[in-house]
C-alpha cells in the first residue's frame, strides 16, 4: 500500500491544526502539522526563547498492570527502583539486545500500574511485543483514546501554572495527576527539545479545550513536526528508526546511561553479554560540520585519509546555532570529541569534527 492510498488517522486536535493554518503531512500513519504560518525557523527559535505547544497525540500511551517488574524482561532500565511520582527513560530490547524502541515509563503516586509512552510509528508492534513477553505476569492496556500535548520552552512553566496552580513546583522527570484548564490530566516535567517543559496526557475529548487554553497565553505558539525535529537534533536526542534501531545496541548508541546500575551488575537484561562485553566497535556521536552546508541522513563519514568510517543518521540546520549539526555512527577509534573527519555530500568531502552533545545546553529544571 502506498502512503498516498493509506487512510490516515487524525488526532483530537486535527480541526484545530487546520484552523491555525497547519501544513498537514502524513507521519506515522497520521495526518500531522509539519509547520504553521510562522514557519519552522520561527517556531524553533520561539520554543527556545518562550514556549511552544506540540500535538504528540499520535504517540502510544498505555498502562501496565500486575507484576510491573516484569517490564525488566524487555528493558535494561531499573523498573523496580523507580520511585512514586517519577518518570524514567527506557529502551525496549529485542532478545538479541538490540533496540526495538525507546519509551518513557512512570510510576504515579499511590498507583500500582505503570504509565507508558512509546513512539508513534512503532506503537502497535511495541504493545504486541510487550504483551507477549509479559504474558502471565502483567497486562498491558493501550489507551488510544488519550491525547498528548507537549509544552516546551522557558515560558512553559509560567503558562501552565495559570491553568494548573502548583504545577510549576515539579522538577525534571517528576509526574503527577493534575487538573489542567479544568480537565483531569497526567502531567510530567519532561520533553523532547532539551528545554524545560511538560507533557500533558488527557482524555481525547478534553484535548482541544486544554490546547486552546494553553495557546491563549501570548508566550505560546503552536509548533509543528519540522521544528520538533530540529529542536531534538540540537538537543542530541535520538529519533527511533534513524539514530537507533534494531541494528544497534545500547553501548553502540551511547545510551548506557539508561541501563540501570543494578541491571549492569546482574547482567540480566536481553543481550547483556553483547552489550557489556568490551568497548563497541562503532559508536553514535555528535558532528559539527565546519561550513554552512548540512549533511543529511545517509551521508557517508570519512576519515581524513578518505576511508569510509561511518554514516550520518540525522542531520540538518540548527537554528539556535545558526549552523549545521548532525549525529551518526563512526568506528570507535574516531569517536573522540574533536576528531577531524569529512562528510561526503554530493560527491564532495566537507570538513567536520566530532562534537559533544547536546549542541545547545539542556535547560531542564533540576
Domain count, the chain: 3
Looking at residues 190-198, what average pLDDT do you find? 98
Q: Would the pLDDT of 1 be above 90?
A: no
Looking at residues 310-331, what average pLDDT do you find? 98
Same domain, 50 and 152: yes
C-alpha span between 302 and 334 (Å, rounded): 10
Residue 184 lies in a domain: yes
**In the structure, what pLDDT confidence band is assigned to residue 6 with cuts at 50, 70 and 90?**
confident
Q: At what angle do helices 156-163 and 207-215 cross, to 10 degrees?
A: 120
pLDDT at position 357: 98
Give DSSP secondary structure letters for 131-168.
HHHTTTTEEEEE-TTEEEEEEESTTHHHHHHHHSTTGG
Q: Would the pLDDT of 317 be above 70?
A: yes
Cell output for 263: 541491571
Q: Would the pLDDT of 223 be above 90?
A: yes
Q: Given 203, 234, 265, which residue is the final one in a domain?
A: 234
pLDDT at position 134: 98
Residue 345 lies in a domain: yes
Q: Would the pLDDT of 5 be above 70?
A: no
C-alpha span between 134 and 113 (Å, rounded): 14
Distance of CA 103 to CAs 76, 88, 157, 245, 272, Å? 12, 9, 24, 13, 19
pTM of structure: 0.96
Q: Residue 317 maps to which CATH number?
A: 2.40.30.110
C-alpha span between 108 and 84 (Å, rounded): 6
State the DSSP code for 144: T
Same domain, 155 and 295: no
**Cα 281–chain centre separation:** 25
pLDDT at position 58: 98
Same domain, 136 and 215: no
Cell output for 309: 568510517
Q: For 23-76, how does the pLDDT look when each residue is reduced to its tens digit (9 = 90+)?
A: 999 999 999 999 999 999 999 999 999 999 999 999 999 999 999 999 999 999
Domain that holds residue 276: 256-355
Amino acid at each position: 500500500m502506498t502512503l498516498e492510498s493509506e487512510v490516515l488517522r487524525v488526532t483530537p486536535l486535527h480541526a484545530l491544526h487546520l484552523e491555525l493554518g497547519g501544513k498537514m503531512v502524513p507521519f506515522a500513519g497520521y495526518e500531522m502539522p509539519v509547520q504553521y504560518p510562522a514557519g519552522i525557523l520561527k517556531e524553533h527559535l520561539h520554543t527556545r526563547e518562550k514556549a511552544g505547544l506540540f500535538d504528540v497525540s499520535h504517540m502510544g500511551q498505555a498502562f501496565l498492570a500486575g507484576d510491573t517488574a516484569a517490564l525488566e524482561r524487555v528493558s535494561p532500565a531499573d523498573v523496580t527502583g523507580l520511585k512514586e511520582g517519577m518518570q524514567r527513560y527506557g529502551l525496549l530490547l529485542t532478545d538479541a539486545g538490540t533496540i526495538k524502541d525507546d519509551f518513557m515509563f512512570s510510576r504515579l503516586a499511590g498507583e500500582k500500574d505503570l504509565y507508558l509512552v512509546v513512539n508513534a510509528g512503532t506503537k502497535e508492534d511495541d504493545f504486541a511485543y510487550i504483551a507477549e513477553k509479559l504474558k502471565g505476569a502483567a497486562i498491558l492496556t493501550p489507551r488510544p483514546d488519550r491525547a498528548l500535548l507537549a509544552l516546551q520552552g522557558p515560558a512553559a512553566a509560567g503558562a501552565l501554572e495559570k491553568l494548573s496552580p502548583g504545577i510549576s513546583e515539579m522538577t525534571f522527570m517528576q509526574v503527577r495527576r493534575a487538573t489542567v484548564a479544568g480537565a483531569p490530566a497526567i502531567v510530567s516535567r519532561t520533553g523532547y527539545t532539551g528545554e524545560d517543559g511538560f507533557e500533558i496526557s488527557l482524555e481525547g475529548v478534553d484535548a482541544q479545550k486544554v490546547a486552546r487554553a494553553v495557546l491563549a497565553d501570548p508566550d505560546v505558539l503552536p509548533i509543528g513536526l519540522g521544528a520538533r525535529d530540529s529542536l531534538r537534533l540540537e538537543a542530541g536526542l535520538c529519533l527511533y528508526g534513524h539514530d537507533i534501531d534494531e541494528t544497534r545496541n545500547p553501548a553502540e548508541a551511547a545510551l548506557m546511561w539508561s541501563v540501570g546500575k543494578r541491571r549492569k551488575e546482574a547482567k540480566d537484561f536481553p543481550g547483556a553479554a553483547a552489550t557489556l562485553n568490551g568497548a563497541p566497535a562503532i559508536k553514535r556521536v555528535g558532528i559539527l560540520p565546519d561550513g554552512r552546508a548540512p549533511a543529511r541522513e545517509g551521508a557517508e563519514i570519512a576519515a581524513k585519509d578518505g576511508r569510509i568510517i561511518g554514516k550520518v543518521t540525522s542531520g540538518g540546520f540548527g537554528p539556535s546555532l545558526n549552523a549545521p549539526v548532525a549525529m551518526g555512527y563512526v568506528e570507535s577509534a574516531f569517536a573522540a570529541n574533536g576528531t577531524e573527519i569529512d562528510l561526503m555530500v554530493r560527491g564532495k568531502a566537507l570538513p567536520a569534527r566530532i562534537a559533544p552533545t547536546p549542541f545547545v545546553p539542556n535547560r531542564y529544571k533540576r
